[in-house]
Amino acid sequence: MSDKFVPYHLRDINNHPAHLDNNQKSNWIRAAKKAKKNFQYQQQYPAFDIATSLYEIIYVNKYTTTETMQKLINHVRNCNEFTFYTEGEKSTKQLALIQIQTIPQQLPFFVILVELAHLPPINSLIHLQIKQLFELFFTFRNNIYSWGPLRKEIYPAIVYQWFEEPIKTSVVNLQLKFADCLSNRRNVIVNDINSDGQMNLLSKYTCHKPSPYRPNEPWTLQQALIYTIGMLIDKSIT
């Protein structure tokens, strides 16, 4: 896509602020490239949306009430599967957000956003309830799914004493499994059925478009959804 189609509010990659040092300049340019690429994807693919009636978003921070925390605890007690996703602060790359989605037997599911920069005092009741919540997440009977090395990404949060290392819960890194799964399914045999309902001896093969990644190179979650179902996870607000 030509630059003339990129809106003015996106950063000009070739016009970074003069006061930035080399490290800040690299981060600034990297963020600008990501924003431009995301804008281009917005023009090409429909957004991956889920009906708001199917889920509830709950922020966990110093403003969360004890009643809301108890609601979360009660809900999580009845779940055995969760997805975890982490976000780093853009300038420092330090862990800033832990996003957990519950997978209950009955909808709605909860999307829990733990904001590490806005936590309550460590001796508060809310903080104790957060600890109870994470203890429930990491009980051995549960399964946790992540896109990336969760144990490494979540380790900085150990300072809050919400969990202990090593994590005993089963953690499945779907990012590692995706490339293998895709490789195994890239060539799908579609058997021809003739007019009499008999299977032909010759078969047809259908293939995905070429992968944008090298073998064993990790896929981003955004690229994985674009490649497999042609839908976009919009990263403009993350």
Per residue in 54-79, pLDDT (tens digit) is 999 999 999 999 999 999 999 999 99
Query: What average pLDDT does range 230-237 have in this prediction?
Result: 78
Q: Is residue 92 located within the same domain as residue 184?
A: no
Please report the pLDDT score of residue 28 as a whole number. 73
Q: Is residue 97 located within the same domain as residue 204?
A: no
Question: Residue 135: inside a domain, yes or no?
Answer: yes
Q: Is residue 139 located within the same domain as residue 75?
A: yes
- φ/ψ of 150, rounded to 5, equals -60, -45
User: Which of 12, 64, 71, 56 is closest to 36 using CA atoms?
Assistant: 12
Q: How much is the pTM?
A: 0.76
Question: Residue 193: inside a domain, yes or no?
Answer: yes
User: Which of 175, 172, 171 is closest to 218 using CA atoms?
Assistant: 175
Last residue of a domain, one of 176, 191, 221: 176
> Binning pLDDT at 50, 70 and 90, where does residue 97 land?
very high
For the chain, percent of residues with pLDDT exceeding 70: 79
Count of domains in the chain?
Answer: 3
User: Which of 100, 112, 110, 115 is closest to 61 using CA atoms?
Assistant: 115
Q: Is residue 98 located within the same domain as residue 115?
A: yes
Is residue 86 a contact partner of residue 144, using CB atoms and an 8 Å limit? Answer: no
Q: Is residue 126 located within the same domain as residue 69?
A: yes
Question: Residue 235: inside a domain, yes or no?
Answer: no
Structural domain range at position 9: 3-44
Q: Is residue 121 located within the same domain as residue 134?
A: yes
Please report the pLDDT score of residue 172 as a whole number. 94
